[in-house]
Structure 1
Amino acid sequence: MLGHNAIHVIGMRPGSLELGPREWSILERAQVIAGGKRLLAACALASTPERPIRPERQIPIAGPLDEVVRRIKREAHKRVAVLADGDPLFFGFGRMLVDAFGPDRVVVHPNVTTMQLAASRLHLPWHEIETVSLHGRDDFTPLYAAISRSEKVTVYTDHVHGPSSIAEALLKRGAEGFTLTVMEDLDTPQERIRRLTPEQAWDAEFSPLNVVLLERCHPAETPLHLGVPDHLYMHEKNLITKQAVRATGLGLLGVAPGHTVWDLGAGCGSVAIEASHLADHGLVFAVEKNRRRAGMIRENVRRFSAWLVEVVRGEAPACLENLPEPDRIFIGGGLGPDSGDGDSLLDTACARLKRGGRLVIHCILLESLLRAKASLEKRGWPFGATQIMASTTDPLAGDLRFKAQNPVFILWAEKP
């Protein structure tokens, strides 16, 4: 029963919107009921003279959720019930209510989730499927991150990011090796399940009540890991951050799962691609001004299925203006004597880096090293430097010799 201080968050079965006797009893006694328009309408239809559901007030869950929480708080002295789809704590409103009122005030009544229903229709064990939600988001970052690491991904859609826009996002990123199983109106008489290619889904029509399962058609051409051999990357004129130097730079960057990473002067994208393996719940931007090299980054993203990496082609620092502030910045190019805007690039990078963020700069030329060192000293940032001189084996006279690579200076600093 509804206690004076309890807010009951009730999950309704997706599609049929069925509830158990206990939940109906709670709704009968509720003075205030909050929920989406569809769920409130279902309650009104289920109300009968023998079992009436007649709250004093209804609060539609629409628009900014912060405002919905404030409206519920104003009614929190009454008997309040909140309606949700499936499990309210599975990509639902329940977490926000627990945060707002505290776990002692909120009672959660879970139901079957849309993802569970979808998995049962396809006879798939749902614990093997990763799930992401695009509800209320303005980007596809969770989707790109999920398809980079998982073979099967369930996507909760909304009126903006539906199956067609998901297909468009995949094709624009170059992620064509997926099928979309679109499940519409699950657990209703209108239920329909279609398996489509991204091209087929792009301009198709769908019911607004849908969930999408993405399945990889084939594994990544090359598995992504740290320390990928240089020859597996497409690159030109030996313009690649070499394996040993790359590993050192990434180690000094200290990329964590949720970080936003900038790779400036990305070349073939090797640092950005391996950084995405570490920032697998974050954002990674590979910035490169050269059109041909930007195309190579996109090809390398495809080879490694590193779909989290977004290629930004343009002149830095101008092209950085609309990027989110980074936790980590790697500068692999753009500071040499032929880059007249090197000081401006450093100024912008240091200004945009978050406090406590890390900056790593690779320099081959002495002038680049001195420019970076002077910039860090001017700001009073604590920094360190190391020199990497690696050699790799090379065939010679039926045996092997060690062939030296160019020495690289690595500067690293943390923003106070």
Structure 2
Amino acid sequence: HPASDASPAPPSDGDGTIPREDARPDPPAGAEADDTAPQSASAAESEGEWPPRGHRRSSLFVFMPSTSRPEPITVLGMDCTVPLLEDALTPPLRRLLDEADVICGPARLLDQVAEPEERRIRRIPLTLPLEPLLDRLGHLRAAGAQVLVLSGGDPLFFGIGSTMARQLGADAVRIVPAPSSLQAACARLALPWHRVICLSLHGREDLGPLNAAVARGAPLCILTDARMTPDVIARHLLDRGVDWFTAHVFERMGAPDERRHALDLARTACARFGPACVLILDPTGTVRRPHLGIDDAELAVEGCFTRKPVRAAALALLGIGPRHVVWDLGAGSGAVALEAAALAHEGRVIAVERDPDRAIGIQENRRRFGAATVEVCLGKAPDCLRDLPEPQRIFIGGGLSGPDGDALLATACARLAPGGRLAANCVLLESLHRCGEALRQRGWPLEILQIQSAEALPLGAGSHLAARNPVFLLAARKPGARETE
């Protein structure tokens, strides 16, 4: 349909919108009108012309392909170990390249595409952000063009293939894979890659998946970039007590100047590497993990413990799941955080402590147990809580009896996810009363449990039971939809 004069400026033909060949631009300002001035629609119809000449200047037609089902965009994976495009092309892959009207890919690959003698092809660099680029490729496909996207390795291994299928639809793309960087690196090590856990830190800064994966006792394949280099990753892991890996670093894999390193994590942390590496972490030492029922003697901090029976009851009341975000407020020695990490082994546990010496002790305990998913937040609650991720479980081990106790509890209740659970450790009767009243006023279902235990201690030739101070545990669930695992 012809566009009106108020229509927006026509897009370029690169979006798959093709202007009429007889459309002419408006005359420049001040130009004299010629004798082909616009006629009325009735006059144009009487002369058998449509659209009227006056409308031709602004008319636009979108030509749809002759078939209602255009050919899918081909995403062609290129062997990442072969530096030259020509060397990676088998005859069937060469035909895909020869038949393409539009070729999109990284600049280094586009520069190697020869121009056919009999026709012209359009080269489109692969640039970020991807969304507008993929929209453009989708328009070209809809206009009938044969579109080919070049991708290194397997397009579905942290590649563009999955993004294209998600944005354009699985029926709109055809994936032709090649060996991925994971396969190439494992082949160099004779390492069965079906056992490998694959992660990408290329363009990503979330180290949560890495923290969760290191305790599984399996090899890890990590794709890095200029910021998340292998030495940065090694320092992060060593800081959390993870020291049981041998690092195999492949720099510029497949290039003539490819370099390969095999180092322990301490040496990896002191080295420097290029911006695009494939890192294989192979577990060669004893894997350490936090566990339930940690003995007090195993902890670096003396005092400020939530005793073992209380920890067991509190964790049972919280019902921590594997992917939960857990807050341990007033963490003290971090014992609750460590045992919570044994349960939330794919999530995050944040130990909040305002005393610097105790916070350092929590870091040492994290290192001792290799508890990579435990994070230490040094700060005074509730002020330090505003930037923490939303928790599904909160344990309050201390701070309720202080001057900021009411504000601490109010902030914790506000930040807890709907359906989440909170447990509070109360030693003083006053804290029990204040906390219980605050939760009842909110209408939260409340459980109160008293833990009273005794420990066998030597006495003369035998032993006797020495009673410990009773502890009250309050547990409540925040009304709302229950979270899903």
The TM-score by the shorter chain falls in which range?
0.7 to 0.9
Aligned residue in 2 for 1:386: 449
In the alignment, the residues of structure 2 paired with residue 19 and residue 249 of structure 1 have an alpha-carbon distance, to the nearest angstrom, of: 61
| 1:409 is the counterpart of 2:479 | no
| 1:365 is the counterpart of 2:428 | yes
Aligned residue in 2 for 1:137: 204
Evaluate the alpha carbon distance shift between residue 56 and residue 352 of structure 1 in structure 2; reply closer, same or farther with a 3 A threshold: same
> Does the Cα contact within 8 Å between 2:99 and 2:146 map onto a contact in 1?
yes
Matched residue SS, 2:449: strand
Q: Which of the residues 209, 215, 224 maps onto 1:148?
A: 215
Deviation readout 1:48-103 (Å, 9 max, x if unpaired): 648x99643525132x3444444444444143333333222222333332222333
What TM-score, normalized by structure 1, do the two folds share?
0.86
> Does the Cα contact within 8 Å between 1:369 and 1:409 map onto a contact in 2?
yes
Q: Any residues of structure 2 matched to 1:286-297 within 5 Å, and which?
A: 286-297=351-362
Matched residue SS, 1:10: strand
Matched residue SS, 1:45: coil
Aligned residue in 1 for 2:70: 4
Aligned residue in 2 for 1:36: 106
Shift of 1:246: 1.7
In the alignment, the residues of structure 2 paired with residue 185 and residue 270 of structure 1 have an alpha-carbon distance, to the nearest angstrom, of: 44
| 1:226 is the counterpart of 2:292 | yes
Deviation readout 1:226-285 (Å, 9 max, x if unpaired): 333343233312x22222322332233232333222111111112212222232332221
| 1:236 is the counterpart of 2:299 | no
> Does the Cα contact within 8 Å between 1:283 and 1:309 map onto a contact in 2?
yes
In the alignment, the residues of structure 2 paired with residue 346 and residue 289 of structure 1 have an alpha-carbon distance, to the nearest angstrom, of: 16
Q: Which of the residues 165, 171, 184 maps onto 1:117?
A: 184
> Does the Cα contact within 8 Å between 1:28 and 1:53 map onto a contact in 2?
no
Shift of 1:173: 4.1
> Does the Cα contact within 8 Å between 2:427 and 2:472 map onto a contact in 1?
yes
Deviation readout 1:269-304 (Å, 9 max, x if unpaired): 122122222323322211111222212211211111
Q: Any residues of structure 2 matched to 1:305-344 within 5 Å, and which?
A: 305-336=370-401, 339-344=402-407
Letter of the 2:355 partner, please give it: N
> Does the Cα contact within 8 Å between 2:229 and 2:274 map onto a contact in 1?
no
Q: Which of the residues 234, 241, 260 maps onto 1:167?
A: 234
Shift of 1:396: 5.0
In the alignment, the residues of structure 2 paired with residue 71 and residue 365 of structure 1 have an alpha-carbon distance, to the nearest angstrom, of: 66
Point out the more displaced range, 198-207 or 133-142: 198-207
> Does the Cα contact within 8 Å between 1:12 and 1:85 map onto a contact in 2?
yes
Shift of 1:171: 4.6
Letter of the 2:297 partner, please give it: H
> How many residues matched?
406
Shift of 1:345: 1.1
Matched residue SS, 2:376: strand
Deviation readout 1:357-410 (Å, 9 max, x if unpaired): 222222222222222222222323333222233445445565565544433222
> Does the Cα contact within 8 Å between 1:44 and 1:53 map onto a contact in 2?
no
> Does the Cα contact within 8 Å between 1:132 and 1:146 map onto a contact in 2?
no
In the alignment, the residues of structure 2 paired with residue 32 and residue 216 of structure 1 have an alpha-carbon distance, to the nearest angstrom, of: 45
Aligned residue in 2 for 1:304: 369
> Does the Cα contact within 8 Å between 2:202 and 2:223 map onto a contact in 1?
yes
Point out the more displaced range, 194-203 or 250-259: 194-203
In the alignment, the residues of structure 2 paired with residue 55 and residue 393 of structure 1 have an alpha-carbon distance, to the nearest angstrom, of: 84
In the alignment, the residues of structure 1 paired with residue 302 and residue 427 of structure 2 have an alpha-carbon distance, to the nearest angstrom, of: 17
In the alignment, the residues of structure 1 paired with residue 459 and residue 94 of structure 2 have an alpha-carbon distance, to the nearest angstrom, of: 81
Matched residue SS, 1:207: coil
In the alignment, the residues of structure 2 paired with residue 396 and residue 377 of structure 1 have an alpha-carbon distance, to the nearest angstrom, of: 45
Matched residue SS, 2:170: coil
Shift of 1:164: 3.1
Point out the more displaced range, 294-303 or 173-182: 173-182
Letter of the 2:412 partner, please give it: A
Evaluate the alpha carbon distance shift between residue 398 and residue 314 of structure 1 in structure 2; reply closer, same or farther with a 3 A threshold: same
In the alignment, the residues of structure 2 paired with residue 144 and residue 208 of structure 1 have an alpha-carbon distance, to the nearest angstrom, of: 22
Letter of the 1:263 partner, please give it: D
Percent of aligned positions that are identical: 44
- The unaligned stretches of length 5 or more in structure 2 are 1-68, 480-485
Evaluate the alpha carbon distance shift between residue 387 and residue 183 of structure 1 in structure 2; reply closer, same or farther with a 3 A threshold: same
Aligned residue in 1 for 2:15: none
Matched residue SS, 1:272: helix
Q: Which of the residues 341, 344, 347 maps onto 1:282?
A: 347
> Does the Cα contact within 8 Å between 1:10 and 1:83 map onto a contact in 2?
yes
In the alignment, the residues of structure 1 paired with residue 119 and residue 276 of structure 2 have an alpha-carbon distance, to the nearest angstrom, of: 25
Q: Which has the larger radius of gyration?
A: 2
> Does the Cα contact within 8 Å between 1:9 and 1:108 map onto a contact in 2?
yes
Q: Any residues of structure 2 matched to 1:156-235 within 5 Å, and which?
A: 156-173=223-240, 175=242, 178-198=245-265, 200-202=267-269, 204-216=271-283, 218-220=285-287, 223-235=289-301
Point out the more displaced range, 108-117 or 299-308: 108-117
Point out the more displaced range, 292-301 or 174-183: 174-183
Aligned residue in 2 for 1:348: 411
Matched residue SS, 2:171: coil
Letter of the 2:413 partner, please give it: C
What TM-score, normalized by structure 2, do the two folds share?
0.75
Shift of 1:341: 0.8
Q: Which of the residues 162, 174, 180 maps onto 1:95?
A: 162
Evaluate the alpha carbon distance shift between residue 22 and residue 247 of structure 1 in structure 2; reply closer, same or farther with a 3 A threshold: farther
Evaluate the alpha carbon distance shift between residue 202 and residue 382 of structure 1 in structure 2; reply closer, same or farther with a 3 A threshold: same
Matched residue SS, 1:224: coil
In the alignment, the residues of structure 2 paired with residue 384 and residue 23 of structure 1 have an alpha-carbon distance, to the nearest angstrom, of: 67
In the alignment, the residues of structure 2 paired with residue 142 and residue 214 of structure 1 have an alpha-carbon distance, to the nearest angstrom, of: 14
